[in-house]
Amino acid sequence: MYRIPTIAALCLTAALAFADTPPAQPPEGQRIERLALLLDLDAGQKVAVQKVLTEQRQEMKAERKKAREAGSARPSREEMKAHFEAQHAAVVEKLRPILSDVQLKKFEALTDRPMGPPPGPRGKRPTNDE
């Protein structure tokens, strides 16, 4: 008699608990496999691309750690955007000798995304009406 309302309440609670969690990023191995598939990389290219992306990720971690330790103020949005674009351009230049022109264009298309909040309910900006 009490089973159906209890089960319904548990399902609703579980649904609400998982509604605000962002989607998990795939592990690094799966990301490079997906990129290799999308760009049609051979084994040598795959290793070289993974090395470049790992180096870039380590540089970014070191920069964040250094900024945190220095206690510097958070950069403005324009500064962050300029820094992101410079980092992206540096990665593209490192990948230019590794990838073909077609592969490089695909990589740029895959990594070209506007800076800002992600789409969806969390990224929705409130309007003046609300």
**Of 54, 15, 11, 7, nearest in space to 32 by CA:** 54
Tell me what the pLDDT averaged over the chain comes to: 78
Of 42 and 3, more confident: 42
Instruction: Give, as one character, the DSSP assignment of residue 49.
Output: H
126 pLDDT higher than 60: no
Distance CA(10)–CA(39), nearest Å, equals 44
Q: What is the pLDDT of residues 11-60, one digit of tens each?
A: 556 655 555 554 555 566 678 899 889 989 999 999 999 999 999 999 98
The pLDDT of residue 1:
52
- The CA-CA-CA angle for residues 12, 25, 112, to 5°, reads 120
Share of the chain above pLDDT 90, in %: 30
The pLDDT of residue 103:
92
**Of 102, 85, 90, 88, nearest in space to 45 by CA:** 102
Element (H, E) at 50: helix 43-70
- The CA-CA-CA angle for residues 93, 68, 62, to 5°, reads 35
**Of 27, 88, 80, 86, nearest in space to 52 by CA:** 88
Of 129 and 61, more confident: 61
Distance CA(57)–CA(50), nearest Å, equals 10
The pLDDT of residue 84:
87
The pLDDT of residue 119:
60
The pLDDT of residue 15:
59
